[in-house]
Amino acid sequence: MSTENEGNAVPAAPSVPPRPDTAPEGSSPGPSPVGPGTLGPQAAQAPEAATAAERPWQSPQPGHAPAQHPGAAWPPPPLPSYGGGGSGGPAWGAPVPAAEPRRRRAGGLVAAVLVAALAAGGVGGGIGYWAAERNDGVPGSTTVSAVSPQDLKREPGTVAAVAAKALPSVVTVEAKSGAGGLEGSEGGGEAGTGTGFVYDREGHILTNNHVVASAADGGALSVIFSNGKKYDAEVVGRAQGYDVAVLKLKNAPSGLAPLPLGNSDKVVVGDSTIAIGAPFGLSNTVTTGIISAKNRPVASGDGSSGKNSYMSALQTDASINPGNSGGPLLDSSGAVIGINSAIQSAGNGLGQSQAGSIGLGFAIPINQAKTVAEQLIKTGRPVYAVIGATVDMAGEGTGAKIASEGAGGTDAVTPNGPAAKAGLKPGDVITGFGDKAIDSGPTLISEIWNHKPGDRVTLTYERDGKEHKAEVVLGEREGDS
């Protein structure tokens, strides 16, 4: 599996297509904090290339939305035209022999109209028949206009209605590292495209950390609304372990409409989903699907730091591709239930430099993302719940084994930390965290980070072939390291 976070170099995003003029008015001038396997101050270095190859998750991120897609033709070839002969029936408007009696002549018109109705649809055919009868024997022709799709009302709750309401609050994020600005060529900065959405009326934008990581230090950031208006932005705070970041528009326009936040804890498998983003730089793209699984442990790297992000993700089959990262996953009412962050891919193919969707997309539950966002807005730094132990990240299917030692030869179980107070020791294998089964180190971290510091959780672990239980009070770690 591959994460969209794997840091493939990506050319600049393609020009943004025309969008509905509904975004806010204005004009623009411009893991883990605990490394993989680290559950406390001691960070165990995650496996590098070998691990990435074994757990190839990919995340749709900046730099993961190529501006130009080699081999892709635009516009796409036209759809086959309908009609066009070959039916064997009389053609619409064909002359009727003068010798035919009037009654038979009318029958010929009816037959012709029925053929047209089959091609044009019931309503159009019916109107055509009425017009032919009214104009029988009268020179000239009658043109009947169909109702355009834009004039048809979309009922609340339909995908079209939800998308129309949400699109003005979804933005395309452009990030560039180094000097030179997003539009410039100087400085050699790497540019990429991701997605975000309006979090509040003050101009905060919620997105993924890996979307903005390349531009967080000395780079340039801007966001583009669905009507094409662009605004410069800056990073308020980012959490590498959670893969969440908050931006702030430098000159936020009035009238911003935050997307409503749902309750990801109430989501069930089979619920409808709507994803909005900029896959491969194609802004304002809407796809649909369902929630296909919950609590899916996902570890994905940002491709540069060598550290992973962990999430107990919502899985969806809505099409998610590089560039969708940071965009909202909506429920059928239009409320945000997750932040699209990663995909599992079958691998590269057909000469593509990046893999695309195979129907396995993963989103950070919005309940967790909201908690992180509030921390970042308030202090600019993330806070992580920890148990104060370093676990082996390589083993799968047998639980999360506490390592024999921590990073740099430190203690694997932090003295006087939460795990130590609960009686855990190096070599213990954690198999349960609350009511969740634990089959690996990433699964354990994902579950820990779904909680808050101070939460009391019952751990199930094995020692010398025997099962034990212990209550642990989660500790706290501030900031990424």
Residues assigned a catalytic role: 210, 243, 325
Instruction: Compute the distance between CA of residue 274 and CA of residue 331 in angstroms, rounded to an integer.
Output: 6
| Amino acid in the structure at residue 306 | G
Query: SS in 3 state form for the chain?
Result: CCECCCCCCCCCCCCCCCCCCCCCCCCCCCCCCCCCCECCCCCCCCCCHHHHHHCCEECCCCCCCCCCCCCCCCCCCCCCCCCCCCCCCCCCCCCCCCCCCHHHHHHHHHHHHHHHHHHHCHHHHHHHHHHHHHCCCCCCCCCCCCCCHHHCCCCCCCHHHHHHHHHHHEEEEEEECCCCCCCCCHHHCCEEEEEEEECCCCCEEEECHHHHHHHCCCCEEEEECCCCCEEEEEEEEEECCCCEEEEEECCCCCCCCCCCECCHHHCCCCCEEEEEECHHHCCCEEEEEEEEEEEEEEEEECCCCCCEEEEEEEEECCCCCCCCCCCEEECCCCCEEEEEEEEECCCCCCCCCCCCCCCCEEEEEHHHHHHHHHHHHHHCCCEEEECCEEECCCCECCCEEECCCCHHHCCCECCCCHHHHCCCCCCCEEEEECCEECCEHHHHHHHHCCCCCCCEEEEEEEECCEEEEEEEECEEEECCC
